[in-house]
């Protein structure tokens, strides 16, 4: 049996898809790259912004007609759009066999079996008080160096623009025992780098009495032999505690890199977003982190054209990125999400204005990103070599601790090794170097 898996959205969704792959591998399914060969098609969706949703409908337009020729084909939709639309999605899309929500991944194999035996469509979008799928261990191909480990999911913050609390549910943390056991196993299988995932990792453990806090968890991961690099995403600026800041000084495997979404540089907009911090609070955290380690590379998410965003608010956002000097900013036009407060705000910004502001924003951030890279010319960086570069030949690629991509040449295959590379040239989104 063949499984075709299509994934939209964030790293969390990618990790969920890896879990599905491992569940179906146990049921005898092999992953295929061509959907025409599939017996089971799973689309793992995202609803954070508008576009990914449209993507689902065009994908279903591609896959559902295949059922006319292949009666064995089962089509399932999961993830945030499935959670949000539930039964409505089934009504809208005749022939869609399965709709499964963000808490139902572990139930998916049984739902597929049920469709195969009864032919009846299946729906499971219940929120559970515990989420068993968090403990499913994804499969990694031999030789993989980096693994993603979901430590919590959901969010209690209810930022006014965000659909996540509605589609992922409330914050729920996995037990630290399960997390640490998984990471030890990964280390034994050759994984050298882990990325801890959650909508709001700073809230890790707060829901479970006696559980480690996030900084305490990081300290335990730091002790696991074989794990050389630790990263995490996403953390909320308002929850960036002194303990977490100190971790960047104390934990030798914690990488000098942090994704800390600012969302807007205007206090007025931040307040209407319900973010719980001002620009000054944010800059203070950045400053403290830089004091602990001046090498820390920052990245952010930014929403352009939030309701009521004036030209002055927008200028403040531009000023904020000039001050923080992010390596990378994921910037998005504001997109009203059904059921969220901001979608009902009367002062929505015109599409053309959003578009123009986004263009200006991205041009400035591109400049800043390039300047950051150029500053590294001449420095020597520790690279974890991930494999051959796209160009092939004797070219290899790896990443610095701050997560910058470096290409270099070597006659020898250094995959999986740490090497010192002198940076010779900054390109648009990556660095070139030579073995030092």
Q: In Å, what is the CA distance from 120 to each residue of 97, 99, 113, 277?
A: 7, 12, 11, 49
d(CA 311, CA 314): 5
Question: What does 362-404 look like in DSSP terms, one character per residue?
Answer: HHHHHHHHHHHHHTTTT-EEEEEEEEE-TT-TTEEEEE-TT--
List the structure tokens of 105: 């991944």
Q: In Å, what is the CA distance from 33 to each residue of 17, 30, 38, 70, 92?
A: 14, 10, 9, 17, 27
Residues 117-176 that bind ligand SF4 (CB under 6 A): 155, 157-159, 162, 164-165
**CB of residue 297 to ligand SF4, shortest distance in Å:** 21
Site string for ligand SF4, 49-88 (x = CB under 6 A): ----------------------------------------
Q: Which residues pair with 260 in a beta bridge?
A: none
Of 2 and 335, nearer to ligand 5AD (C-beta) is: 335
H-assigned helices in 145-241: 164-168, 176-188, 214-222
d(CA 192, CA 233): 17
Of 275 and 399, nearer to ligand SF4 (C-beta) is: 275
Count of residues engaged in binding ligand SF4, rule: CB under 6 A: 10
Sign of the alpha-carbon dihedral angle for 340, 341, 345, 348:
negative
Of 158 and 330, nearer to ligand SF4 (C-beta) is: 158
200 binds, among ligand SF4, ligand 5AD, none (CB under 5 to 8 A by kind): ligand SF4
254 binds, among ligand SF4, ligand 5AD, none (CB under 5 to 8 A by kind): none
Of 328 and 381, nearer to ligand 5AD (C-beta) is: 328
d(CA 320, CA 262): 9
155 binds, among ligand 5AD, ligand SF4, none (CB under 5 to 8 A by kind): ligand SF4
425 binds, among ligand SF4, ligand 5AD, none (CB under 5 to 8 A by kind): none
Of 40 and 134, nearer to ligand SF4 (C-beta) is: 134
244 binds, among ligand 5AD, ligand SF4, none (CB under 5 to 8 A by kind): none
**CB of residue 263 to ligand 5AD, shortest distance in Å:** 6
The owner of tokens 């060969």 is 37
Residues 183-212 that bind ligand SF4 (CB under 6 A): 199-200
List the structure tokens of 108: 């998916």
Binding residues for ligand 5AD, rule: CB under 6 A, are 48-49, 161-162, 261, 263, 301, 303, 332, 334-335, 337
Q: Say if strands 257-259 and 30-31 run parallel, antiparallel, or are unpaired.
A: unpaired
Query: 114-135 in b/e burial notation, b at 16+ Cβ within 10 A?
Result: bbeeeeebbbbbebbeebebbb
**CB of residue 303 to ligand SF4, shortest distance in Å:** 9
Of 275 and 357, nearer to ligand SF4 (C-beta) is: 275
157 binds, among ligand SF4, ligand 5AD, none (CB under 5 to 8 A by kind): ligand SF4
d(CA 416, CA 206): 35
49 binds, among ligand 5AD, ligand SF4, none (CB under 5 to 8 A by kind): ligand 5AD
Asked if 259 touches ligand SF4 (CB under 6 A), the answer is no
**CB of residue 299 to ligand 5AD, shortest distance in Å:** 11
**CB of residue 234 to ligand SF4, shortest distance in Å:** 7
135 binds, among ligand 5AD, ligand SF4, none (CB under 5 to 8 A by kind): none
CB 307 within 8 A of CB 342: yes
d(CA 153, CA 201): 8
Report the interface residues with ligand SF4, using CB under 6 A: 155, 157-159, 162, 164-165, 199-200, 236
């Amino acid at each position: 049996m063949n499984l075709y898996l299509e994934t939209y959205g964030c790293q969390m969704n990618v990790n969920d898809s890896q879990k599905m792959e491992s569940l179906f591998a146990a049921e005898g399914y092999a992953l295929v790259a061509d959907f025409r060969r599939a017996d089971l098609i799973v689309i793992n969706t995202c609803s954070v912004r508008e576009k990914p949703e449209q993507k689902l409908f065009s994908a279903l337009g591609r896959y559902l007609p295949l059922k006319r020729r292949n009666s064995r084909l089962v089509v399932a939709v999961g993830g945030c759009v499935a959670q949000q639309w539930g039964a409505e999605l089934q009504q809208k899309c005749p022939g869609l066999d399965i709709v499964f929500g963000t808490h139902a991944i572990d139930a998916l194999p049984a739902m597929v079996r049920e469709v195969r035996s009864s032919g009846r469509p299946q729906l499971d979008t219940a929120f559970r008080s515990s989420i068993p799928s968090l403990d499913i261990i994804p499969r990694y191909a031999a030789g993989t160096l980096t693994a993603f480990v979901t430590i919590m999911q959901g969010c209690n913050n209810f930022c006014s623009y965000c659909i996540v609390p509605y589609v992922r549910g409330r914050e729920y943390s996995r037990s630290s025992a399960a997390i640490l056991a998984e990471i030890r196993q990964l280390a034994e299988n050759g994984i050298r780098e882990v990325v801890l995932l959650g909508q709001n990792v700073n809230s890790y453990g707060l829901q479970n009495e006696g559980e480690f806090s996030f900084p305490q968890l990081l300290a335990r991961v730091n002790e696991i032999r074989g794990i050389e690099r630790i990263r995490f995403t996403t953390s909320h600026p308002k929850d960036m505690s002194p303990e977490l800041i100190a971790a960047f000084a104390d934990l030798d495997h914690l990488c000098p890199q942090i994704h800390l979404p600012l969302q807007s540089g205007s206090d007025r907009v931040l307040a209407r977003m319900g973010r719980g911090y001002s620009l000054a609070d944010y800059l203070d955290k950045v400053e403290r982190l830089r004091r602990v380690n001046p090498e820390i590379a920052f990245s952010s998410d930014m929403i352009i054209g939030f309701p009521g965003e004036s030209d002055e608010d927008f200028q403040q956002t531009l000023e904020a990125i000039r001050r923080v000097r992010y390596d990378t900013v994921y910037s998005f036009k504001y997109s009203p999400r059904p059921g969220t407060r901001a979608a009902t705000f009367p002062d929505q910004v015109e599409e053309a204005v959003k578009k123009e502001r986004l263009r200006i924003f991205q041009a400035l951030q591109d400049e800043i990103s390039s300047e950051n890279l150029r500053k590294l010319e001449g420095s020597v960086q520790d690279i974890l070599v991930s494999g051959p570069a796209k160009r092939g030949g004797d070219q290899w690629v790896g990443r610095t601790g701050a997560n910058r991509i470096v290409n270099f040449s070597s006659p020898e295959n250094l995959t999986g090794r740490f090497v010192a590379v002198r940076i010779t040239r900054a390109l648009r989104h990556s660095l070139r170097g030579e073995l030092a």
